[in-house]
């Protein structure tokens, strides 16, 4: 094994163990950022020692013992005479003596602990970006470098984002606890939002060369599964998982061999992952059973489910989709949802009906720089045979698109429209 191999093996163990290490230390220290720091020290110790000693038989137990020792040292070193700390340290030692068998602690309220950790990392005090970075770091066990790579940002930017977020958490003096009952549902939205942000960053790769960054999708899906298993009565957790599973089921069909994007209606549906679709449908079913059919994520999942159910693009139930978008628009006023509704209405009732919705959006400030507005308008105009206007719209869209491959797709459509225009005249 080379040193690099050993490091990869250590990081693999780390990813499995880290959330449990943090939660265990957080319980001792009542301070999540500090707990995270000390677990990082345990990782450094492993990276230092394991290449020579080999990976121990029970690497999780090794990391836990090392991390707990650091935490105890910290408590002893700190303002020593503070009775509270002494008590905690004493408590801890007693706990260790009473519970020497590591395996007995395997199922130690994992759900509750994980929930607390997630709610802390995704606290609404923090910006969405900071929450995403902290969640990837503390719950998924990604290194700063890995997060930076995934978000196409410099390491220093992510490092700083994490440091600031941890400082905010430390200074806020938040209680380390998971909200319960109604407060849980309310706070959950700030967690779901972050998970969805991570998913979309990977799925709709807004910037850069690649259309997809699957690692982020996978991490988001995993977080979604964590949430549905530890907060099983929350319909929107299931709704979000459904939405992500159903979207991710199309991954293999979304690009061609050269990596060029293929639009959903042109995709080879036999490449859609039927197992993932089934899991998505199950999650959507669960959301509905829990009374959450009208939730923000469940409605979006229901829309994607319409596509997943259609054997061919021609069989898509566009009126149902248009109806679901109308429900969604009633829930959240958003010009982007309205734009999507225009697409569905255009398919269900014809391009003119779609175009009249889009035309009402043309002066919407929020869509001023949104490339999909001219892109959708171009598509509807193209269908109406107004090719020259369509060409101008596709070109405007290409100029606004941030993803290189998407720009190329839009330029191709502009060229097609130009061809069609010259054939007509």
Partner 1 sequence: MRFMFIVTSAHPNAPTPELMEAMHKLANREIKAGRMLDSGGLMPLATGAQVRIVDGQLSVVDGPFVEAKEVIGGYAIFELPGKEEALASAKEFMQLHKDFMPGWEGTCELRAFAGP
List of residues contacting partner 1 (CB under 8 A): 8-9, 11-13, 15-16, 19-20, 57-60, 103, 106-107, 110-111, 114, 214-215, 218-219, 221-226, 229-230, 251-252, 273, 279
92 or 115, CB closer to partner 1? 115
Produce one character per residue of 88-119: b if its CB has 16 or more CB atoms within 10 Å, e if not.
Answer: bbeebeeeeeeeeeeeebeeeebeebbbbbbb
CB nearer to partner 1: give 222 or 360: 222
Closest distance between partner 1 and the C-beta of residue 118, in Å? 11
In the complex, minimum distance from the CB of residue 229 to partner 1, in angstroms, rounded to a whole number: 5
Measured between alpha carbons, how far is residue 391 from residues 166, 395, 401, 410 in Å?
Answer: 49, 6, 15, 10
Supply the minimum distance, in Å, between the C-beta of residue 8 and partner 1: 5
Comparison of 377 and 405: residue with beta carbon closer to partner 1: 405
Whichever of 198 and 322 has its CB closer to partner 1, that residue is 198
Q: Closest distance between partner 1 and the C-beta of residue 282, in Å?
A: 12
- What are the tokens at 318? 């566009």
Whichever of 279 and 391 has its CB closer to partner 1, that residue is: 279
Minimal distance, residue 380 CB to partner 1, in Å: 32
Distance in Å, CB of 188 to partner 1, minimum: 16
Cβ atoms of 406 and 371 within 8 Å: the answer is yes
If the CB atoms of residues 115 and 158 are measured against partner 1, the closer one turns out to be 115
Q: How far is the CB of 404 from partner 1 (least distance, A)?
A: 21
User: Which one, 228 or 403, has the nearer CB to partner 1?
Assistant: 228
């Amino acid at each position: 094994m080379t040193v690099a191999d050993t490091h990869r093996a250590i990081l693999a163990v780390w990813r499995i163990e880290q959330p449990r290490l943090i939660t265990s230390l957080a319980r001792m220290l009542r301070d999540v950022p500090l707990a995270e720091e000390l677990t990082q020290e345990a990782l450094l110790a492993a990276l230092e020692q394991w290449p020579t000693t080999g990976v121990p038989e029970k690497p999780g137990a090794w990391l836990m013992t090392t991390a707990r020792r650091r935490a105890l040292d910290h408590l002893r070193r700190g303002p020593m005479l503070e009775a509270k700390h002494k008590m905690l340290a004493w408590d801890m030692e007693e706990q260790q003596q009473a519970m020497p068998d590591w395996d007995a602690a395997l199922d130690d309220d994992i759900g509750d602990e994980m929930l607390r950790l997630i709610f802390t990392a995704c606290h609404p005090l923090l910006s969405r970006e900071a929450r995403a970075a902290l969640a990837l770091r503390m719950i998924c066990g990604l290194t700063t470098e890995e997060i930076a790579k995934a978000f196409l940002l410099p390491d220093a930017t992510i490092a700083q984002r994490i440091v600031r977020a941890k400082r905010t958490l430390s200074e806020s003096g938040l209680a380390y606890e998971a909200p319960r009952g109604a407060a849980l549902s309310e706070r959950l939205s700030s967690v779901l939002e972050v998970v969805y942000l991570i998913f979309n960053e990977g799925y709709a790769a807004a910037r850069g060369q690649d259309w997809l960054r699957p690692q982020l999708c996978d991490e988001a899906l995993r977080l979604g599964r964590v949430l549905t298993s530890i907060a099983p009565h929350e319909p929107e957790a299931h709704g979000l998982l459904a939405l992500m599973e159903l979207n991710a089921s199309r991954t293999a069909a979304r690009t061609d061999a050269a990596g060029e994007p293929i639009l959903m209606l042109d995709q080879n549906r036999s490449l859609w992952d039927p197992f993932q679709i089934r899991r998505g449908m199950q999650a959507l079913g669960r959301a509905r059973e829990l009374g959450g059919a009208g939730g923000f994520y469940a409605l979006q999942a229901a829309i994607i489910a319409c596509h997943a159910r259609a054997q061919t693009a021609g069989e898509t139930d566009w009126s149902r989709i248009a109806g679901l978008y109308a429900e969604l628009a009633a829930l959240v006023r958003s010009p982007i949802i309205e734009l999507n509704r225009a697409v569905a209405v255009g398919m269900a009732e014809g391009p003119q009906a779609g175009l009249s919705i889009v035309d009402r959006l043309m002066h919407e400030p929020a869509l001023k720089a949104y490339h999909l507005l001219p892109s959708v308008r171009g598509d509807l105009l193209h269908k109406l045979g107004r090719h020259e206007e369509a060409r101008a719209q596709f070109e405007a869209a290409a100029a606004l698109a941030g993803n290189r491959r998407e720009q190329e797709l839009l330029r191709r459509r502009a060229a097609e429209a130009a061809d069609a225009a010259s054939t007509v005249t």
